[in-house]
Amino acid sequence: MKKQLELRNVCKNYEMGDSVIHAVDGANLEVKEGDFIAIVGPSGSGKSTMMNLVGALDLATRGDIFLDNVNIEHLEESELAQIRGKKIGFIFQTFNLIPTQTALENVALPMMFQGIEKQERIERAKELLKKVGLGDRMEHLPGELSGGQRQRVAIARALANNPKIILADEPTGNLDTKTGEEIVKIFEELNKQGKTVIVVTHDDELAKKARKIVRLRDGRIVENLKYRKRV
């Protein structure tokens, strides 16, 4: 498989008064096209910081991050925004949906920023909502949906611009067990369809579905193991 993403000696530090917090400390990681990776570790281990670095939401203090052989640490914010919009789909624990917009409008929104015509945006948003089992909830506001339904809307939105990589930060963290299992199945299906999936999670069942587990402790990768082959 082709190498898609690489972290080389990546560090992210934060100054807290007289102290320096090493949120990510010398991380080295390779991600290949079609990987399904779970980033695990205790609270404060650096998981979400690493996710932000991988997703070009933040820049490293030191080190290099390559996406499709381009060092994103050397790019301007406008270029990073284009990468986030086209190549990466984000899914958050708190869903981050716009409460005054319908499910359909939430899913269509990212396409507007890529200059896609309105009718095409609407048709693709409908298609994606049907894909995640919400064909009958398109005109509902987020407040009218269950937690699982809101997460499905968030997944559909992440797929809006057909990104190569899906990044999910605790995607099952606010869901009950049954709903969480349904969301995990969606990630498995997306991976089988060729999407690279990277999840930060405390959910052991989700982690077990990944093909590779990366374990963090105190900002360092302490374990990087292949868990299973795709079935």
Closest CA to 168 of 129, 200, 144, 216: 200
Closest CA to 173 of 56, 94, 88: 94
Which tokens sit at 161? 């611009």
| Tokens 């396409």, located at residue | 111
Residue 229's pLDDT is what? 56
Is pTM beyond 0.85 here? yes
φ, ψ at 150 (rounded to 5°): -65, -40
**Residue 37: helix, strand or coil by DSSP?**
strand
Residue 227's pLDDT is what? 56
Concatenated DSSP letters for 9-24? EEEEEEEETTEEEEEE
Q: Which amino acid is at 190?
A: L
Task: Tell me how far apart the alpha carbons of residues 191 and 60 are, in angstroms, rounded to a whole number.
Answer: 28
Q: What is the DSSP letter of 26?
A: E
Which tokens sit at 200? 């930060």
Series of mean pLDDT values for 10-residue runs along the chain (231 residues): 93 92 94 95 92 93 95 93 92 93 97 94 97 96 96 96 95 90 93 95 88 93 72 45
